[in-house]
Amino acid sequence: MPLPQPPSTRPSATLPEGAPLPAPGAAPRVVAALTGVGVRRHTTGRPILDGVDWTVRAGEHWALLGANGAGKTTVLRLVGALMFPTVGTVEVLGHRLGAVDVRELRAVIGLVSSAQQVPQDATGHTVVLTGASGTVQPLWRTYDDATRERAHTLLAELDCAELADQPFRVCSGGQRARILIARALMADPSLLLLDEPFNALDLPSREDLIDALHRLAVDRPELATVTVTHHLEELSPTVGHALLLREGRVQARGPVAEVLTGPRMTACFGRPVEVSRHAGRWAARSGRHPVG
């Protein structure tokens, strides 16, 4: 059956023959799969990713970790249908990149990044509304009463209903992150990608966002998430899987208890790392201790 699309100014597109994109909220068992994926920089031919194999299934919550330049953002862009691999295959929501109109595919993938362009003077409610049309500026004539009410509901779900009438530009970093997550959820995606959502947040804002993501995972059991982060302390207790990247190669992948260990983190980051876990939360610090 054809994919119902939110009102949008995107160019119309026709899906190729084969299985249609899933309806909003209906996630296939395999949400994303990378097989033998390599990406090379166009200008120099230098490899950014090399031989990456990775599968994300419905309801799984992944942390994507690695040093700067390890390839985390490139992996996220591939899964978000924002770029194509040089070699290998990428399948997202049952469709292979290169054999599907990525404009329609992107419409059912939620993406949150602090670099996203949204109207700074718009209210929180208006910013969330733009997620229904996939536009930077609001398209007022396309939003019916149900769409407007859904935006309010999502703000409440992210525990920021009080921000509905507050200009985005005066919101704190943590408030902005939660508004952007609500915006991404307007399309009822099966896959939510979070690109360093905790960037520059203070401790209370970080904890508020972790709590919001925890509730989101509990309340939406079919939703799959991938979070790029530099700090284990930012992981919600619902994050059950981790992918470690080092210089474009997979260092480790799988359940967090097997991946987020001192030896594996040490191998990934190239320096001694001690890892601990308490009440479902993680912490990491350098194993190097000052002398004296």
CATH number of 29-108+189-200+223-292: 3.40.50.300
Q: For 128-155, what is the mean pLDDT?
A: 91
One-letter amino acid for residue 20 of the chain: P
Q: For 61-85, what is the mean pLDDT?
A: 95
Q: Say yes or no to pLDDT of 125 above 50.
A: yes
Both structure tokens of 124? 């929180």
Q: Say yes or no to pLDDT of 81 above 80.
A: yes
Q: What's the chain's average pLDDT?
A: 87
pLDDT, position 25: 52
Q: How sure is the predictor about 290, in pLDDT bands with cuts at 50, 70 and 90? A: low
**Which of residues 39 and 136 earns the better pLDDT score?**
39
Q: Say yes or no to pLDDT of 8 above 90.
A: no
CA nearest 191: which of 10, 7, 33, 5?
33
Both structure tokens of 277? 């876990």
Q: Identify whether the C-beta of residue 168 lies closer than 8 Å to the C-beta of residue 123.
A: yes
pLDDT tens for each residue of 49-65: 999 999 999 999 999 99
- Alpha helix stretches (DSSP H) within the chain: 72-79, 102-106, 124-133, 145-157, 173-185, 203-219, 256-259, 262-269
pLDDT tens for each residue of 15-30: 333 445 555 555 458 9
Q: Identify whether the C-beta of residue 42 lies closer than 8 Å to the C-beta of residue 19.
A: no
Q: For 4-16, what is the mean pLDDT?
A: 35
Question: Which residue ranges make up each domain of the chain?
Answer: 29-108+189-200+223-292, 113-188
How far is C-alpha 16 from the chain's CA centre?
26
Q: What percent of the chain has pLDDT over 90?
A: 73
pLDDT tens for each residue of 203-242: 999 999 999 999 999 999 999 999 999 899 999 999 999 9
